């Protein structure tokens, strides 16, 4: 998370991989799956959130604090 964006916005991983989001902004963000599978809670500046993707699929997510921040994880 940097400049109110997820960088990269869209990624591909393998089933079983763990994705780490790091908040590089000076304000809090969160990472919330559209389907409800994960919710980071508030991530303070310099904080991180990890999630392991066990099943294949497309997982769209956003920062509900800053709704313009969106991203996706494609799990193969």
- 14 located within any domain: yes
The pLDDT value recorded for residue 72 is: 98
25 occurs within a structural domain: yes
The response to whether 63 counts as a known ligand-binding position is: yes
Instruction: Establish if 53 belongs to a structural domain.
Output: yes
Domain assignment present for residue 58? The answer is yes
Residue 3, in any domain of the structure: no
User: How many structural domains are present in the chain?
Assistant: 1
Residue 55 CB contacts under 8 Å (≥ 6 apart), including other chains: 15, 75
User: Which is higher by pLDDT, 63 or 67?
Assistant: 63
Q: Quote the pLDDT of residue 11.
A: 98
Domain membership of residue 52 as a residue range: 10-75
Place of tokens 């709704």: 67
- Residue 2 in domain: no
Strand 70-75 to strand 10-13: parallel, antiparallel, or no bridges (unpaired)? parallel
> Is 1 part of any known ligand binding site?
no
Q: What is the pLDDT of residues 4-59, one digit of tens each?
A: 999 999 999 999 999 999 999 999 999 999 999 999 999 999 999 999 999 999 99
**1 occurs within a structural domain:** no
DSSP three-state, residue 67? coil
CATH number at residue 41: 2.60.40.420
pTM of the model: 0.94
Q: Which two three-digit tokens encode residue 75?
A: 């799990």
Find out whether 29 is annotated in a ligand binding site.
yes
């Amino acid at each position: 998370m940097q400049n109110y964006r997820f960088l990269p916005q869209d990624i591909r991983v393998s089933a079983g991989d763990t994705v780490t989001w790091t908040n590089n902004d000076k304000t809090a963000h969160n990472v919330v799956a559209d389907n409800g599978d994960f919710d980071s809670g508030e991530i303070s500046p310099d904080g991180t959130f990890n999630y392991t993707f066990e099943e294949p699929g497309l997982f769209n997510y956003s920062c509900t604090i800053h709704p313009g921040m969106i991203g996706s994880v494609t799990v193969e």
